[in-house]
Amino acid sequence: MQKVVVEIEKAAHVLKLLGDKTRLTIMAILKKRECCVCELLEVFDMSQPAISQHLRKLKDAGLVKEDRRGQWIYYSLNLENELYDFIQEILQHIPDQTENIRKIEETNPTLRCGC
């Protein structure tokens, strides 16, 4: 992978955002699968606003983007982020999220209404 040098303030900001277990896990999940808030709720023992607030921070920093589809807002990694390669390299070291994704797909919150 190409070595891209990143401004130190920007790097510190991204690292701080990833330096929270919940956000780091969210990022690792989104790497594999776009998700809406109600799906992420299955993974974390936390209120809906707490998840929304973490996603807000990630969105404000450009780490994720949102895509509204009807009632749901789907979050995914923002491939256009200036620091995307840097973030990807970090996420490569984070454990596989298959188990958490299983939790989401088992319950399948967005399927309750048959969408």
Partner DNA sequence: GATTTATATAAGTATATTGTTATATGCTTA
Partner DNA sequence: TAAGCATATAACAATATACTTATATAAATC
Report residue 17 as tokens.
């955002």
DSSP assignments along 39-95, one per residue: HHTTTSSS-HHHHHHHHHHHHHTTSEEEEEETTEEEEEE-TT-TTHHHHHHHHTTSP
**Minimum distance, C-beta of residue 18 to a copy of itself, in the bound complex (Å):** 5
CB 72 within 8 A of CB 38: yes
User: Which one of 38, 61, 73, 94 is in contact with a copy of itself (CB under 8 A)?
Assistant: 94
User: Which one of 53, 92, 98, 108 is in contact with DNA (CB under 7 A)?
Assistant: 53
Subset of residues 19 to 48 that bind DNA, contact rule: CB under 7 A: 19-20, 22, 36-39, 41, 46-48
With contacts defined by CB under 7 A, name the span among 3-11, 82-90, 94-102, 104-112 that binds DNA. 104-112
Report residue 15 as tokens.
């690292």
Subset of residues 1 to 20 that bind a copy of itself, contact rule: CB under 8 A: 3-9, 11-20
Return the one option of DNA, a copy of itself, none that residue 55 interacts with (CB less than 5 to 8 A, by type).
Answer: DNA
Q: What's 7's DSSP letter?
A: -
